Structures are given as structure tokens and as C-alpha cells.
Chains A and B, each alone.
Chain A
Amino acid sequence: MVNEEKVRIMAQIALDETKYHKKEIRGGEYDKSDYVRSHVISAIWNVTISYIFILCLIALYYADYIFLNVARLAYERLGFILLGIYTIFIILTILMSYLFYSKKYIRNRKILEEYYEKLEQLDRFYEQGREDADNDTITGI
């Protein structure tokens, strides 16, 4: 016979896994330091790409000036300035993404605890089902 409560929990688990908390469940495999570190690295990568693209756009905007003064540009000074700005961006990114993903990890843990609670409930149902099956005795003539 279909156990309605069991079906309800299974449906909730399926919804969590496929729709509502897909990312959180996937991220739940990681330890906190691994989770935060991997996301901080990803953030550094994203900010680096953005920075390169922004530089391209700025270079395009000043293309005339760059072409005219290509031999007279103070490359060393320019390099230091660009590297300095990049370093500031990266430090800010590391700080912000560390805080953001640490907080996110804690929030995800709460979601995962609820998810594991549902899994345990389901497990108890199966456990109960197995016990009932073991206790069944076949009587006959």
C-alpha cells in the first residue's frame, strides 16, 4: 500500500535535488575552507577577465592617442599603475568574496541540514518497512 507520508517526503527530496536547492546540495560535498577557497579563486578569475576586457575597451576609446604616441608612452609607469589598480581590485575581490561565500556556506549548511533530516526520515521509513517484512510469518495448512 502507498504510504502518503513517505511519498510526500520523497517528493520534497526530489524537488530539493532538482529545483530549489540543486546548487546547495552540490556544494554540500565540500568542506568550508575548500568551498570558500574554490569560489574565491573563481572570483579572482572572473575579475581578472573583466579587468582585461575593461582595459581593451579603454584602449579602444583612446586608440587614436595610442597609435600617435606609441613610441613615446611611458610603459613602465603605465604598467605599474595598471598593476597597482589590478592589485587593489584583487584584494577587494578576495575580501568580499571570502565574506560572501563564508556567509553563503553557513546558509547552505542550514538548507542541507533540513535536506539530510528528510533523508533520515525516509531512511527510517525503509528501516520500518524492512522490520515489518522480517516480522511477517507465513501461516498455512
Chain B
Amino acid sequence: MTQLLVFREHLQKFYQKNAFFLNPLCRFFIGFIIFFSINRLIGYHPVLNHRYIEAILALTSILMSGEVLLFFSAVFIVVHIFYVSNLLAVAVALLFAVLYFAYLKFVPEHAYLIMAFPIAFSLNLVCALPVLLGLLTGPVFVLPIICGVSVYYLLRTITSVLSTSTDASINLYQTVMQQFIENEEMYLFILVFSLVSLVVYLLRTRRWDFSFEISILTGGAANVIAILLLNYYFNSNINILLFLLGSVLSLGLVWGLYFFRMPLNYAGVENLQFEDDEYYYYVRAVPKMNIAVPRKSVKRFNAKRSNDVSKTKQKEEQGADHENVM
């Protein structure tokens, strides 16, 4: 643990020192992941579905704010669908507009969470999101879960309908909407993710030692079991090994985020009790784990250089003697 804390301190210092380069690099990376995931999920347009296009768009995303990047990713999705069906693209654009006007206008920061769901699904890291939502937010997490999972299943329904149907546009839209609304798997995923987030939230707000670690592990395990049961029930044929690997990686990511945010030192817990005129106070103070990074002092033992130094000193002394004689 000490080694990890030292590593964290080093990493934080490294980031502080190189934030000027690291921030654009992170933005590029995030932009690339977003456009790569969209292309992987719904990459119909042959011009846009290329790695170099993703790289160019990711480069431009360095200059964009988070909101603009999300707007462009929504436009990117609509353009892909527009290539296959104009009417379907208009419908999806209208749905995104409803999402924006009815929900995201009031809570703009939830846009990132909603966008994270399709990306996490396509990268097989979806286990991380409900756990993360339970850790970071309150019971309001149900809303981004509903919208995020719905957006993913809408895109998935579009791809599955387009792969089989040869209907005209209006019928295509009707088929997509029908399949989307009747998709039981989507409702069950929403239910599972909401329950997992609730479990994580309830566990991490308990006054137990290691409540955060317990909530991450329990939430992760519950998520894996529930998804495996859903897979069995719906016969979804997911690759179990890949799914388990993704789940472990997701939980590792969540734990990493928690570790960088606030590892707590439960050995130093203080239970305080005091009172004033109006209240009794029962305070539990858990210190954060901090560690002093050992400083390395390097002593140089260089024989050649020390000889040179002694020679120059001798010369200086000789010069001074000559001056005194003169």
C-alpha cells in the first residue's frame, strides 16, 4: 500500500508538472475513444468509418469544450444513420433534441454519463458505470442510467433492424421504434444497473470501515452475476471470458479512480463526541492516507572530475603565489 501511495504522489507531481501537455493528450484520447466507439457501434458511413477520420476528429476535440464534444458526437451518430435512412436520422435527431430540452438543459453534467453508457457497452467496460454512479452520486443516478441504456439500445436496435430489413424509410422507423419499445432486455438492464447503483450507494454511505472498498466489490460482483443471469435468460451469446475480463478491468478502473480521489486511513479513525446549547455531536473523522515521498539525494563520485578540480585549484594557488611575489 505504501508503494502505491508513493506512486500516486509521484504521478500527481508528474501531472502537475506536465499538465500543459497532458491535458490536450487526455482530451485527444477521450475524443478518439468516443468516435472509435461510435464507429464500432454504428459506423455506416464509409467515409467516416476510418481510423484516420477518428484521429482527425479527436485532434479537433482538443479545442472543444466537453459540451461541444458531446454535441459533435451526437451529430456524428446522426450523420451515420442519415447515410442509411434519412427519416430514421431525423427521428434520432428529434429524440436527442427531446433528451436535451427535457433533461440535459436542467442537469447538463449528466450528458457525460449518458454518453458514457454506449461507449462503455461497446468497449465491454459497462460494469464500471453503475458502480461509479453509486459511488459518486446520490439516488438521482436512476435518470442517467435510464437515458444512457436507452440510447445504447436504440443504436443497437437500429443496427439490428438495418442488418435484416429492406423496408422503406417510414416502415424502418416504425420497426425500429416497435423493437426498441418492446425490448425487455433494455428494461432489465436498466433495473439491474439501478439496483447495483443503489446497493453501492447504500453500502458506501454506511459507517463501516472500508465501506468504499466493500461497496465496490459487492456492486461489481452483483453486476457480473446479474448480467450473466440476463445472458442466460435471453440467450445473448456474450463471450463470457471477454465479459469477465472487461468486468475485472472495469472494477480495477473504478478502484483506481477511488484510490486517486480519496483513500482513507481507517487505522486512524477518531470518534469524537461533544455538545453545544442545541445539539449533541457524534463525529467520526477518518484521516486521508497521505505519505511523504522520500527525497533522493544523489552524491556524485567522479574521480576524473575531482582530479580536474584539484588541478585547477593548484593552478589558482600557484597564480596567487606569483602575484604575491611580484
Interface residues of A (CB under 8 A from B): 42-43, 46-47, 49-50, 53-54, 56-57, 60-61, 63-64, 97, 100
Contact = CB atoms under 8 A, between A and B. Distances in A.
B21 interface: no
B118 to A, nearest CB: 20
A100 B170 contact: no
Given A53-B94, A53-B97, A61 B102 contact: no
B72 to A, nearest CB: 21
Contacts of B87: 60
A64 B105 contact: no
Contacts of A50: 97-98, 101-102
A8 B278 CA distance: 36
Nearest to B90: A60
A49 B170 CA distance: 23
Contacts of A100: 106
B159 to A, nearest CB: 20
A61 B174 contact: yes
Given A43-B106, A53-B101, A100-B106, A61 B94 contact: no
Contacts of B95: 57
Nearest to A46: B101
Contacts of A49: 97, 101
Contacts, number: 38
B306 to A, nearest CB: 41
B236 to A, nearest CB: 27
A46 B105 contact: yes
Contact of B102 (A42, A46, A60): A46
B170 A60 contact: yes
A110 B303 CA distance: 66
Contacts of A56: 94
A115 to B, nearest CB: 21
Given A43-B106, A46-B105, A60 B98 contact: no
Nearest to B103: A50
B230 interface: no
A35 B108 CA distance: 18
Contacts of B101: 46-47, 49-50, 53
Contacts of B98: 50, 53-54, 57
A54 B100 CA distance: 12
Contacts of A46: 101-102, 105-106
Identify the interface centre among A43, A54, A60, A64: most chain B CB within 10 Å of its CB: A60
Interface residues of B, number: 14
13 contacts: A42-B105, A46-B102, A47-B102, A49-B101, A50-B101, A53-B98, A56-B94, A57-B98, A57-B177, A60-B87, A60-B91, A61-B173, A61-B177
Interface in B83-130: 87, 91, 94-95, 97-98, 101-102, 105-106
Closest 4 CB pairs of A and B: A50-B102, A46-B101, A50-B101, A50-B98
Contacts of A47: 101-102
B320 to A, nearest CB: 41
Given A53-B97, A61-B173, A61-B177, 18 more contacts: A43-B105, A43-B106, A46-B102, A47-B102, A49-B97, A49-B101, A50-B98, A50-B101, A50-B102, A54-B98, A57-B94, A57-B177, A60-B87, A60-B91, A63-B170, A64-B170, A97-B106, A100-B106
Contacts of A57: 91, 94-95, 98, 177
Nearest to B104: A46
A94 B299 CA distance: 72
A42 B106 CA distance: 10
A117 B95 CA distance: 45
A115 B174 CA distance: 53
Nearest to B99: A50
A60 B105 contact: no
A20 to B, nearest CB: 13
Contacts of A61: 173-174, 177
A113 B265 CA distance: 34
Nearest to A100: B106
Contacts of B94: 53, 56-57
Contacts of B105: 42-43, 46
A46 B104 CA distance: 10
